[in-house]
Structure 1
Amino acid sequence: MEVPAHFEAVPQPEDNHYTPDRWKLGKRLFYDPLFSFDSTKSCASCHRQTFAFGDNKTFTKGVNNLNTTLNVPPLINLAYQPYYTGAGGVPTIEMQILVPIQEHNEFNFNMPAIVRRVNLIPEYIDMAMKAYGRAPDAYVVTRALACFERSLISAQSDYDKYLSGQKSALSAGARRGLELFESERCGCKKCHSGVNLTNYSFENNGQYTYNPEDGRYRLTLKEEDLGKYKIPSLRNVAFSAPYMHDGSVATLSDVIRGYEKGGFSYPTKSPLIKGFSLSDAERNDLILFLNSLTDINFIRNPIFQPE
């Protein structure tokens, strides 16, 4: 898992360092539908490489044709995140693996039953012994999947090349867009900062005058957290439409216009959302910069595809 110099080394937990055998097992499990109650859905059913390991639907269908409760987030550079899910209530990738398994609208299943299924497949038993020195169990399943997901590193966009010193990697329009992105006027960088273009904080972006979802309040039960969600990375954002936690915004242009208006008034709306004005040319430049965050190699890399 090599990364450019402007990235930190990929963090790995002490009990789950990368090995080729662990990665191979995790990849195999990622594409296996045995994780869902009716054996129709795998991790890859929602997290599709074509869409930066996200999806292109407002909500994705889980078991029994039920919609997911939130727009599917892309799986990009997860190793660098300090916590997981939109409310930020899960501290590790290994623990996050359990969330979709138990969600009624996703897999609607449980780990003991999954372990029984995995142990019916001799190849999985052999792979688990090579990877972890033990037969498949909850420890093996969660850690193998986490090992694979931790390897989903996107760091070869034109913007990365620009940060590495190749100034010509960004077009003139994209460079103008970067200036707007980092400007006080637009304020994008106040939330979308660092190499992963997120500060991992929680904000209500004023999308609604009411809150159809509780957001972080569901975890903290603090009224000031109503409607707040973890700020997403903007890497490969051109491939992750529709946008927002509920997939209600169709295009990047629509996203920008929404922020230009300053959002709707709500008691917990972020004070960072103030509104601004862009010309059509400036808006196009900003979109050019956002497009420069696309890592085509990540989206097409055959190493991540099922065998």
Structure 2
Amino acid sequence: MKNNKIPVLLFLSLLILFLVGFQSDDPRELTSKEKLGEKLFFDPILSKDHSISCASCHRPEFAFADTSAVSLGVSGTKGERNTPSVTNLSGRPNLFWDGRSASLEHQALQPIQNPIEMNLSIVEAVKRLNDNNIYSAAFQRIFKGPASDKNLSAALAAYQRTLETANSPYDHYINGDDHALSAAAIRGRMLFIGKANCNTCHSGEDFTADRFKSIGLYNGKDLNDPGRFAVTKDSTHLGDFKIPGLRNVALTAPYMHNGMFKTLKEVITYYNDPDAIVKNGKNRDLALSKPLGLNDQEILDIEAFLRTLTDDRFTKLN
């Protein structure tokens, strides 16, 4: 009788290696900004009480997103918005749901110093790194100087730029493999770019137009996150949020800035008839002014297509 435990143990070993990344205590293995950034990304040294890391909320097995509506920071403090994936962010002109950062370098330091996330001042973060033999040696080797806010952000940003994905069933299909998508997914793709008109906002190779839109999830009452308005103070931006990319979207539930939809089917159902789910949504985009008229099978077909955007690197972990 074959021993089935060996493949399982091998898989678990590979999974652990993937999740911890370059966690060696040998500074000689930290030979690049990317490798240093990866170690920092998984290290709780950047949180006030050493309890959480970037990867606590941006979990690799879920395409570097989270599975809760909002993540918990130090001391179990509840966050304010859903944790977005950090894959495919290279070249994005705006980051965070409200677009308050214009570069990965600026974005990288914000969760560290946010009082409801990692709650550590950048001054203290830099001091910890310079007091740590492993990190101080690594920063000297890579940046030719001690850790600073600038090279800390550079290392984290460099690692995030390695998280680009373009190896999904959808990619195989558009590159000539006619069997990469199911019949349902092929129908869903045609609906996505046709009847459902999803590609008006979710366009390009990462399926985002890099703009801000209100889809009606702000009503000033129970749904009261003003989104982009909090940054610009422009009343026309009330309820606007960054249009996220859709790559790996099947792994990043729950959805929307507040995590209000638990499944892709719920998201598509909302777009099919927003007013049936959220009444009196403010500043809702005119493209959603009337129902799409999708039937149940068409909703399932679009969901099937969205699932084909999951990169192979994540399929192996789920």
TM-score when normalising by structure 2: 0.85
- Counterparts of 2:295 and 2:140 in 1: how far apart (Å)? 60
**In the alignment, which of 202, 208, 213 is matched to residue 192 of structure 1?**
202
- Counterparts of 1:161 and 1:146 in 2: how far apart (Å)? 28
**In the alignment, which of 41, 47, 67 is matched to residue 56 of structure 1?**
67
Is the 1:253–1:283 contact (alpha carbons within 8 Å) kept by the matching residues of 2? yes
Is the 2:184–2:304 contact (alpha carbons within 8 Å) kept by the matching residues of 1? yes
Count of residues in Structure 1 that have an aligned counterpart in Structure 2: 282
Structure 1 counterpart of 2:311:
295
Aligned-pair CA distance for 1:170: 1.2
Aligned-pair CA distance for 1:20: 5.1
Once the two structures are superposed, the pairs formed by residues 22-171 of structure 1 within 5 Å of their partners are 22-171=33-182
Structure 2 counterpart of 1:246:
258
For the aligned residue pairs, the C-alpha RMSD in angstroms reads 1.5
- Counterparts of 1:85 and 1:24 in 2: how far apart (Å)? 24
- Counterparts of 1:298 and 1:254 in 2: how far apart (Å)? 23
SS in 1 for 2:255: coil
Structure 2 counterpart of 1:6:
none
**Counterpart AA for 1:88:** G
Q: State the identity as a percent.
A: 37
Structure 2 counterpart of 1:305:
none
Structure 2 counterpart of 1:283:
299
5+ unaligned residues in a row in structure 2: which ranges?
1-29
After superposition, the Cα gap between the structure-2 partners of 1:106 and 1:246, relative to the gap in structure 1 and judged at 3 Å, is same
Larger CA deviation: 204-213 vs 231-240: 204-213
- Counterparts of 1:208 and 1:67 in 2: how far apart (Å)? 20
Structure 2 counterpart of 1:8:
none
Note if 1:209 corresponds to 2:216.
no
Structure 1 counterpart of 2:10:
none
SS in 1 for 2:250: helix
> Which has the higher Rg, Structure 1 or Structure 2?
2
**In the alignment, which of 191, 203, 207 is matched to residue 180 of structure 1?**
191
**Counterpart AA for 1:237:** V
Moved over 6 A (4+): none
TM-score when normalising by structure 1: 0.88
Larger CA deviation: 70-79 vs 265-274: 265-274
Structure 1 counterpart of 2:233:
221
Larger CA deviation: 277-286 vs 65-74: 277-286
Render the CA deviation track for 1:115-148: whole Å, top value 9, x for unaligned. 1111111111121122111111112211111110
